[in-house]
Amino acid sequence: MNASCAAMGVIVLLAFQLFLPDPVRPLPSLSLLMMTSVGAALFYFGIRFVAYWAIWRKISGNYRQKGGRCLGANGELPKNAFMVVFMAPLAAFGVMYLILADPSGALGPGWWVAIAVVTGIAFRDLRAAWHVLFLDQARWLKETSRGLDILRPVVGDS
């Protein structure tokens, strides 16, 4: 999984090299490019965390006790809510790019590094979203250290 994410980042950087082989302005320092990559990763995971937390708070308050326990009590979310968590960081990065990018359309090295980092991280989420997309609406998902646990809560009164 990590190799495929790194490969996606390298592909984006190779596209930068192919489409802009002779930069018009000098390249920024390596420390600035490293801070850009760390900032892009923090932005992505920060948006993902805020989206997950906000949706989880709403969901855990809406679903009361069923089958002896509260739905959402252990961090699980319904399928559609989890899809929003997967897509929110990518959409937020697109909006940020539209707001902050150079109006001339020329991407600088910092933007290419940020795009490579976000693409590499988002690749994992997009693959998981593709698999989750075809589940029925009654499924709930929980992210664990092993991956995604797909749950089907017991509906009805006990």
Q: d(Cα 51, Cα 7) in Å, to the nearest integer? A: 27
Please check whether residue 59 lies inside any domain of the structure: yes
pLDDT at 157: 47
Please check whether residue 47 lies inside any domain of the structure: yes
Domain that holds residue 45: 2-17+30-151
pLDDT at 158: 45
Please check whether residue 121 lies inside any domain of the structure: yes
Q: d(Cα 15, Cα 28) in Å, to the nearest integer? A: 18
Domain total in the chain: 1
Q: For 12-16, what is the mean pLDDT?
A: 73
Q: Are 141 and 132 in contact (CB under 8 A)?
A: yes
pLDDT at 110: 80
- pTM for this entry: 0.72
pLDDT, greater one: 27 or 80: 80
Report pLDDT digits (tens) over 94-147.
888 888 877 776 677 788 888 888 988 888 888 888 888 888 877 887 777 777
Please check whether residue 73 lies inside any domain of the structure: yes
pLDDT at 97: 84
Averaged pLDDT of the chain: 77
Count the alpha carbons within 13 Å of 142 in the hemisphere toward its beta carbon.
12
Q: d(Cα 57, Cα 75) in Å, to the nearest integer? A: 9
Please check whether residue 133 lies inside any domain of the structure: yes
pLDDT, greater one: 97 or 49: 49
Report pLDDT digits (tens) over 66-80.
555 566 667 778 888
pLDDT at 50: 94
Please check whether residue 24 lies inside any domain of the structure: no
